[in-house]
Structure 1
Amino acid sequence: MPQTAEHALYERFLRGLALSPRLPAMRVGADVLTYEEACERALRQAGALLAASPSPPRAVCVLAERGFSAYVGILAALFTGAAVVPLQPDFPALRTRRMLEDAGVSIVVADARGKAALAEAGLDLAVLDADRSPAAGVALDAPQPVDAGDVAYILFTSGSTGRPKGVPITHGSTHHYFQLMDKRYDFAPDDVFSQILDLNFDCAMFELFCAWGAGASALAVPPIAYQDLPKFINESGITVWFSTPSAITLVRRMSGLAPGTMPGLRWSFFAGEALRCSDAADWQAAAPGSHVENLYGPTELTITISRHRWDPETSPRLGVNGIVPIGTLHDGHDRLLLADEEQEHPAEGELCITGPQMSRGYLDPGDDKGRFLERYGRIWYRTGDRVRLLPGGDLAYLGRLDSQVQVQGWRVELAEVDHAVRACEGVEEAVTVTRETARGLELVVFYTGDSSLTAAALARQVRTVLPAGMLPKEYRHVEVMPLNRNRKIDRGRLARVAATG
C-alpha cells in the first residue's frame, strides 16, 4: 500500500495494520476482524462510496450501532478523504435531519437500524449498506490523500437554541493529539481496549485510534457487562479501560469494586464529567496494577486537553469539593482565566485555551459568538468551566459557569452542595438542581444510598457545613441516577423531575 501522510487520522489504523496484520483490530462478542480483514472491507466501502457519489463527498455519515459496521464505516469514510460524521440511529428524526443537513452529508453508511432512522428523517441521500460487502472491483488501492487542515470528523454538541452545534476537527488537530498520547502511554499490540462510548462522543476516538495506532484491539463492551464488570474485564482480557465516572457508581452498585477484582487492567481513563476522589480511590483499589487518570476536554479542543494521574497520597489533598483535579494542559497549549467578561485573574476563573487542538470554529459561524474570543492577537476557546490554579500547577475543576446560581441573594456553586450532601452518612451520590417557584429559585437534591434517610436527618447534617442561604429546599431519594446516552448523569432530566414538584 502506498505511503500516506502521517498527519492523516486513518494513518493510525495503517500503523496498526503494519504492526499486527493478522491480529484482531476489533472484537464484538466472540467475533473478530483482523487488521487485514478490516482494511480490505474499508477499502471496498471507500471505493463504493466514491463510485456512488457524482463528486468526491465532503462529509460521509456513519449511521450505525456500535460494532463492525460502524467501525469499518468510520475507516471507509476517512479513506475517501471526506469528513466522517458518526450519528446514532436512535436520535430523534428531526435532530438527525438537522445534523445531516448542517454537516453537508451527501452519502450515508448505514446498518439496518440506520437505514430506518434515515427514512424517518425524510432525507433523500445516497446510502451504502454497511452490512453488505461491495464488489472487490470498486476497492481503493489506498486511502485518498488529505491535508492537515482538512476536516477528519464532525461531532455535534448541544446548542443553547436547541439546535446542535457542529464541531469540525481537522487531521492536524488529531495528529497533534495522538502524538502526545503515543509519548505518554505504552500501549502495545497485546493490549485490549474497551470500546464502550457511543461513536458520536469524541472520547470514542481515543478508544479506537489509540488502540489502532498501537496495533491493539478495540472490544465493544455490551451494557450487560456491567452486571459483573470485573468478570467481563478479566475473561475478555481488557487492559485499557475508558468510561465516564458514572460507570464507577454503577459497578459499585453491582458489588464489583472489591479490592483486587480487576488485576489485569494497566490503564484506566475517565472523562466526560467530574471524577470524585472517592471513586478514583475505589477504582484504584479494585485495579491495583492500573494507572488511573482523569482526562478533561471539550469537543472543541479535540477529545481531551489535560490530564491528572491519580496518586492516593497527593491527589485527595489537591481535590476541591472532593473532585479529582483536571491536571495540566497538553504541550503546545496556553490558557488564561477570566474572572468576568473582560478581566483576567491569575488563579481562578473561566478556563480559556488556545493551541493546535482547538477547532477553528463551528459549522455555523453564528454559533462562535460567546464561545471564541480574540486576545493578544490569538483566538481562544471559552470552555465555560471554572477552574482554580493549584500551587503545583494543576488545575482544579470548580464546576460549570452555568452551575453557579443565585438563590435568595446567595451565590451558590451546585458542586459545593453536591459535595456537602455526599459527605452525609448513608449517601452514595448526590446531584443538586434548581427549580423556579413563586418564591424564587430553590435547590433540590437527588441522592442515592440509604433509602431510610429522612430529609430532616440530611438537612441537619448539611446545615453543619453550609450556610442557611445555600441549603436545599428538598431532598429526593432515587435508586439510581438517570444516565444519558453518553453515560453521564442526566441533570436535565433530574431538573425536569424537580420542576414537577
Structure 2
Amino acid sequence: MASKLTTAWLGAGFCTSVERFPDRPAIEVGGESVSYRDLYDKAVAVADLLTRVRPSTPTPLTAVYAARSHSAFIGILGALFRGHGYVPLNPKFPADRTRHMLEASKCQALIIDHNAEPLLTEVLNDRSGLALIFPEHDNKDELKARYPSHDVFTASDLVTPEAWEMPSPLPEDIAYLLFTSGSTGKPKGVMVSHANIDRFLSVMMDRYELNETDRFSHMFDLVFDLSLFDLFMAWKAGGCVCCPNADELLLPAGYIERTQLTVWFSVPSVAVLSLRLRQLEDDRFPSIKWSLFCGEALPADAAAAWAKSASSGPLENLYGPTELTLACALYRWKGEASLAECRNDVVPIGTAYPGMQILIAEEAFKEAAPGASGELLMTGPQVALGYWNDPEKTAAAFQSHPDSGEIYYRTGDLVRWSDDGERLEYIGRVDNQVKIHGMRVELGEIEAVIKELTEAPRVVAVGYPVDANGISGVTCFVEGPEIEAAPILQAAKSRLPAYMVPKKLICVADFPLNANGKVDRKALLATLKPAS
C-alpha cells in the first residue's frame, strides 16, 4: 500500500504507520484505544461508502460534523481515502454558522457523531439530497424517518472492502477547508493544499524526531487548524492521539498525568489558567518531551511556570495563521535568558521555518526600518491556496511582490525584529492598533504596563470610549478580583503618555473565550457599548 502512495498526500503518513505499526494504538477516546489497523479498516469502509453513494460531487470535499470521537477520526480519514479534502464542522457552533459553512462548501456528504445530532435538524434546515452517515448508529429506520429528504446510512452500511486503492491527488489539490472568522460576519474558507500541509509536517518531523512511542494531546477542536498537528503528526510518527474529556480541556493536569502524554500542544490560555489555578508545580509533568504553544501571544510568566512543570523537554512558542498552514515561525524557551528577550512580557515568535521568508512592511511592500514595527508578510511553500470561492478576499490577502512575483500572505500581525536582529517580536494585531487624538497606540504596550502594575494573570485593552471624532481613550479589562483602580492609574501615568493611560479598569472573574480558546476581545468590547 505505502509504495503506491502519493508522497505529498495528507493521508500518506497514516497509511505508512498502518503497515509499520498495525497493532499500536492510533487513537484513545474515553479510555479506549483503537489500533492503526482497526482505524484504517473503519476509515476505508467510510471511503468505500462515500464512493458508492456519491460517485461524483460538485466539489472534492466531504464534511465531518463531529468532535473527539471515533466517528470524527474515521470521517476525516475516510474523506481523505476517498480522494476528497475534509471540511470540519464544530458541534458547538450555532446552527446558522454551521449551515453557512456546509452550504458554502457544497459538500454532498456529511459524517455525523453523537455530539452533532442535537443541532443537525436545524443545520440541515430546508436542504435535501445529502448523504448522512452515522457510524455510531444502527437504527436506520428511525433516522430515515427523522431525515426523510436525505439518504441515511448507518453502521450496518459500513463494510470494509477486501481491497482499496488509495487516491493519488495532486500536490495542489485541497487537503482540508477550514472556515475562519470573516470581517463581514460570515466565515471565510481557507483552502490548504496537500503540498502545504506535507511541508509543515516534514519540517516538524525533522525537528522533533517523534516516534511510535509518543502520546499526543488533542486540545484543539477540529475546526482549528492546529488540530492537524495533533492528528497527523501523531499518525505520521506511529504515535497515539489521546483525547481529553470536557473537564480535562479546562484543567488538563490530571489528563496529562492519566494519559502520560509526551507531546503537549495547546493555546497559551491553557497555561495561563493552569498557572492561575495553581496547577503548575515543578516537575509535575515528567512524561512530556515537548511542550508547544500556538494560537495567541504566550505570556512570559506562563511559559516560565509551564517549562518548570514539564522540565524533561523543551518548550517552544509557535506562530502562524491558518493561511500559512498551522505554524511558520518558532522560538525555543531558554529559561532565565528568555525572560530578558521578552517584549511587553510576551514570548518572542522567533525565526521562520525553513523555506519561509519574512518581510516586515511599513506599507504595501515597503520594508520597515530596522527595529521598527510593521505588518508581517510571509512567502514560501506553506502559503495556502487562498479563500474558497472568494477571489476578492484572496487578492487582498495573498499579494504578489512587485519585484519577485512571489505570493506573500499579509498576516495582519504587527511585529518587529529584536534589537540584535535575531528573532521576531510579536506586538499585536494591526487592527489592535488604535488612534487616539491622531496618535497611534499599540494596545499591547498598555496591557503590559497594567499587567505589571496589577500583577493580574491577564489584561486586555480595548479602544473605548468612542465619540464623534473616533476613539477617545482606552479601557482595560483586568482578570481577577476587584482592585482599587485609582493608585494603578496614577502609577500608569509615570509609565505611559497621558493619552495612553486607561480611562477605566474593569475587573472580570474570567475572560470570555472564542471557539478556538482565545480571549474574545469583541465580546469584551460589546459589554461596554450601550444597547442600540
TM-score in same-fold range (> 0.5): yes
Q: 2:375 aligns with which of 350, 357, 375?
A: 350
C-alpha displacement at 1:120, in angstroms? 1.0
| Alpha-carbon distance in structure 1 between the residues aligned to 2:369 and 2:451 | 31
Unaligned runs of 5+ residues in structure 1 are none
- Structure 1, residues 332-364: CA drift from partner, whole Å, max 9, x if none? 122212102352224331111111110121111
User: How much has 1:464 moved relative to structure 2?
Assistant: 2.3
What CA deviation, in whole Å up to 9, does each residue of 1:68-102 have, x standing for no partner? 11111100011111110001123222222221222
Deviation readout 1:245-283 (Å, 9 max, x if unpaired) = 000121123321121211211111100000111111111
Aligned to 1:152: 175
Displacement, 1:115?
Answer: 4.3
Shift of 1:498: 2.2
Residue identity matched to 1:100? L
Aligned to 2:315: 292
| 2:411 equivalent among 345, 370, 383 | 383
Q: For 2:453, what is the secondary structure of its paired residue?
A: coil
Which range is displaced more, 68-77 or 130-139?
130-139
The residue type paired with residue 394 of structure 1 is: R
In structure 2, relative to structure 1, the CA distance for the partners of 1:172 and 1:466 (3 Å cut) is same
CA shift, 1:290, in A, is 2.3
Aligned to 1:405: 434
Are residues 1:91 and 2:93 paired?
yes
Q: 1:196 touches 1:222 (CA, 8 Å); kept in 2?
A: no
Percent same amino acid among aligned pairs?
36
Q: Report the CA distance between 1:446 and its aligned residue.
A: 0.9
| Match in the other structure for 2:144 | none
Instruction: Name the residue aligned to 2:50.
Output: 49
CA distance 1:112–1:227, change in 2 (3 Å):
closer
Task: Name the CA distance, whole Å, in 2 between partners of 1:235 and 1:60.
Answer: 34
Contact 1:48/1:138 (CA < 8 Å) preserved in 2?
A: no
Q: 1:83 to 1:228 in 2, by over 3 A?
A: closer
What's the offset of the Cα at 1:365?
0.9
- 1:126 lines up with 2:131 in the alignment: yes
SS at match of 1:336: strand
Shift of 1:286: 1.2
Q: How does 1:64-463 map to 2 (within 5 A)?
A: 64-121=66-123, 122=125, 123-124=127-128, 125-131=130-136, 132-133=154-155, 134-136=157-159, 138=161, 141-225=164-248, 229-341=252-364, 343-347=366-370, 348-363=373-388, 364-375=390-401, 376=403, 377-390=405-418, 391-438=420-467, 440-441=470-471, 442-449=473-480, 451-463=481-493
Task: Tell me whether 54-63 or 137-146 shows the greater mean CA deviation.
Answer: 137-146
Q: Distance in 2 between matches of 1:367 and 1:227?
A: 35
Residues 426 and 453 of structure 1 are in contact (CA less than 8 Å); yes or no, is this contact kept in structure 2?
A: no
TM-score, normalised by the number of residues in structure 1: 0.96
Letter in 1 for 2:526: R
SS, match of residue 489 in structure 2 = helix
SS state of the match for residue 489, structure 1?
A: coil
Alpha-carbon distance in 1 for matches of 2:439, 2:241: 48
Aligned to 2:63: 61
Amino acid at match of 1:398: I
Code of the residue aligned with 1:41 in structure 2: it is K
Give the length in aligned residue pairs. Answer: 500
Work out the CA distance in 1 between the residues paired with 2:280 and 2:421. 31
Aligned residues of 2:250 and 2:270 also touching (Cα < 8 A): no
Please identify, of 144-153 and 48-57, the stretch whose mean Cα deviation from structure 2 is larger.
48-57
Counterpart code for 1:496:
A
Q: Secondary structure at the match of 1:105?
A: coil
What residue is the counterpart of 1:32 in the other structure? 33
Contact 2:398 2:408 in 1 (8 A): yes
Q: Which residue among 480, 484, 489 is the counterpart of 2:514?
A: 484
1:494 aligned to which of 501, 504, 524: 524
Q: How big is each residue's C-alpha offset from its partner over 1:424-479, in whole Å with a ceiling of 9 and x where there is no partner?
A: 14422111112343374231111123x24211122122222111110111111111
Where 1:427 maps in the other structure, the secondary structure is coil
Instruction: Report if aligned partners of 1:444, 1:498 keep a CA contact under 8 Å in 2.
Output: no
Deviation for aligned residue 1:422: 0.8
Q: Are 1:63 and 1:89, in contact at CA under 8 Å, matched by a contact in 2?
A: yes
Q: 1:9, 1:175 within 8 Å by CA — same for their partners in 2? A: yes
SS at match of 1:321: coil
Report SS of the residue matched to 1:498. coil
Matched residue SS, 1:411: strand
Deviating more after overlay: 391-400 vs 263-272: 391-400
Contact 1:404 1:412 in 2 (8 A): yes
Q: After TM superposition, which residue ranges in structure 1, 4 or more long, deviate above 4 angstroms? A: 137-140
Give unpaired runs (5+ residues) of structure 2: 137-153
What's the secondary structure of 1:119's corresponding residue? helix
Letter in 2 for 1:481: F
SS at match of 1:6: coil
The answer to which of 392-401 and 35-44 deviates more is: 392-401
In structure 2, distance between residues paired with 1:296 and 1:105 = 31
Given that 1:48 and 1:139 are in contact with CA atoms closer than 8 Å, whether structure 2 keeps it comes out as: no
The question of whether the paired residues in 2 share the 8 Å contact of 1:44 and 1:140 is answered with no
Shift of 1:410: 2.6
Offset of residue 139 of structure 1 = 6.7
> Partner residue of 2:143?
none
Look up the SS of the partner of 2:116 in the other structure: helix
Q: 1:45 touches 1:139 (CA, 8 Å); kept in 2?
A: no
Contact 1:44 1:139 in 2 (8 A): no
State whether residues 410 and 470 of structure 1, in contact with CA within 8 Å, keep that contact through their aligned partners in structure 2: no
Deviates more, 1:368-377 or 1:223-232: 223-232
How many Å apart are 1:117 and its aligned residue? 3.1
> Residue type of the partner of 1:350?
E
